[in-house]
Amino acid sequence: MMLRLISFSLMLFTSFCAYAELPSSVSDALKKAGIPQQNVAIYVQAVESSVPILNQNAEQAMNPASVMKMVTTNAALDLLTPVYRWKTEVYRDGNLTNWQLQGNLIIKGYGDPSFKAQDFWRLLISLRQAGVKKISGDLIIDKSYFAADTNNASFDTEKWRAYNALPSAFLVNGRNTSFKFTAGDEAINITQEFELPEVVIVNKLKRATGACGDWRSRVAYDVQPAADRAVVTFSGSYAADCGERFLELSLFEDEKYAFFTFKKLWRELGGEFNGKLKLQETPVTAVKVLEQLSEPLGSIVRDINKWSNNVMARQLLLTIAAEKNGVPATEAKGSSAIKAWLAGNGLKFNELVIENGSGLSRVEQISAEHLGQLLVRAYNSPVMPEMMASLPILSQDGTIKQRLKDSQSNGRAHLKTGSINGVSAIAGYVLDANNHRHVLVMLVNHANATASKNAQDALIEWVHQQP
């Protein structure tokens, strides 16, 4: 056993000395993409080692895009534990007699990032079982667990897109309306995945022939919001070859989406309600009726990392803030909690900037070296199984399902991707041909960053082929 450890250590030392420069496959791909090496940071290290085998500009602070979610989710797993669950509480402010609530119904949210329409349905089923059928008052939503977001500006000009949704202490379905497009024999059909009557669809799409290709560039939408509805007009063309496609938009403020969903589900469950929506804190006189718990954090981080869900990551950062630095939760409190956690583990990342924890930011930054060191620590920590399981599996699922399908590295890497204009990143774990696992980080900050995919794939294969 000792001889094997010595041999492996010598291999790492030799590799470190041999690969002071980028592998030719990676440098050639970057050159072809028109990306200078000074705009690329790379860090590769075996999880059993304390030194990297490849270090290129790794100390340089870079924008990581959605790879920042790995910092947020790893911190959450460690600080909150994988068994952490969010609660959603229901209160009544009035007497309950003969199935009638003579007063207001109150829902208090605690930031559950995974609260879907089916969870709301389950909550309301429990409310019916608790003896409530008719609500004579209003619906009060208590969002005080999170501080009010004073920055309502979207990340880019696509303000209606789902990735721009803001966090909320009571967030239903990520407040997303998912539109499904299907090609009929003569026309294009547009439906809602979860249908709300307050969403009005105007379909001006034309059925086209030919290959699907970049279908999104040919489908335009216009949103006209109103107090009690949103009218969405689709125009352009949609090829029959596209089959089923989806587009997610956030058309309503979080409390309005929750209110519209409540009215729909309550009516379907046979309940009666004619009240209004109010936003306020839970009165001290209110009586708690029930509490519902989410799935554990260890499961929820999979949705965050495998599908790079921005608003869920933001909810998670605010949850860390509330649990570690008190309510109401703010992004600044969350950032402070993560930096304190890092420092407590001997990791001082002076360049680290956390704005919202999702990577959908122009100011968030970290170095490839520090992210690599964090991933090595994560692998050797008690939460390694949950962290690894949350990452997309190369060629098999998540955001890297279509990459390197014909490579021998297929299925042998767990990697998170990140992409915004001018930024492309990939980070995670690669198992080499001899079953030694390595941490890999590659951050590209350049106008041609989207063209760096081949260089990233070349680096993955180079790591996989390590002797």
Mean pLDDT (10-residue bins), the chain, 467 residues = 45 46 96 98 96 97 98 98 98 96 98 98 98 98 91 80 95 97 93 97 95 95 94 96 96 97 98 98 97 98 97 98 98 98 97 97 98 98 98 96 94 97 98 96 98 98 93
How many CA atoms, within 13 angstroms, populate the side-chain half-sphere of residue 294?
A: 25
Q: Is 303 exposed, middle or buried (0-12, 13-18, 19+ CB in 10 A)?
A: middle
State how far the Cα of 7 lies from the Cα of 29, in Å rounded to an integer.
Answer: 32
| DSSP letter assigned to residue 303 | H
Q: Is 171 left (phi over 0), alpha (psi -120 to 50) or beta?
A: beta
State how far the Cα of 313 lies from the Cα of 294, in Å rounded to an integer.
Answer: 16
pLDDT at position 95: 97
Give the three-class secondary structure for 172: coil
- The CA–CA distances, whole Å, from 13 to 8, 52, 99, 199, 379 equal 9, 9, 74, 61, 21
Minimal CA–CA distance to 273: which of 140, 122, 177? 140
State how far the Cα of 174 lies from the Cα of 171, in Å rounded to an integer.
Answer: 6
pLDDT at position 19: 53
Q: H or E element: which one contains 325?
A: helix 310-325
Residue in the block written with tokens 């991933």:
375
What are the structure tokens assigned to 194, written together? 């979860």
Q: Is 83 exposed, middle or buried (0-12, 13-18, 19+ CB in 10 A)?
A: exposed
Q: What share of the chain is helix, strand, coil (3-state, %, to 5)?
A: 35, 30, 35
pLDDT at position 157: 83
Q: Is 195 exposed, middle or buried (0-12, 13-18, 19+ CB in 10 A)?
A: exposed
Q: Is 201 exposed, middle or buried (0-12, 13-18, 19+ CB in 10 A)?
A: middle
Q: How many CB atoms lie within 10 A of CB 209?
A: 8
204-254 per-position pLDDT tens digit: 999 999 999 999 999 999 999 998 999 999 999 999 999 999 999 999 999
State how far the Cα of 239 lies from the Cα of 212, in Å rounded to an integer.
Answer: 6
State how far the Cα of 208 lies from the Cα of 213, in Å rounded to an integer.
Answer: 12
State how far the Cα of 411 lies from the Cα of 83, in Å rounded to an integer.
Answer: 27
What are the structure tokens assigned to 81, written together? 């534990």
Give the three-class secondary structure for 393: strand
State how far the Cα of 187 lies from the Cα of 206, in Å rounded to an integer.
Answer: 7
pTM: 0.93
69-128 per-position pLDDT tens digit: 999 999 999 999 999 999 999 999 999 999 999 999 999 999 999 999 999 999 999 999
Backbone angles phi, psi at 390, to 5 degrees: -80, -15
Calculate ∠ Cα 36-68-343, nearest 5°.
110
pLDDT at position 156: 85
Give the three-class secondary structure for 428: strand
**E strands in 226-280:** 230-239, 245-249, 272-273, 277-279
Alpha carbon distance, N-terminus to C-terminus of the chain? 19
pLDDT at position 130: 97
How far is residue 390 CA from its own chain's centroid? 11
What are the structure tokens assigned to 120, written together? 């709301």
Give the three-class secondary structure for 351: coil
Judge whether 229 and 177 are in contact, CB under 8 Å: no
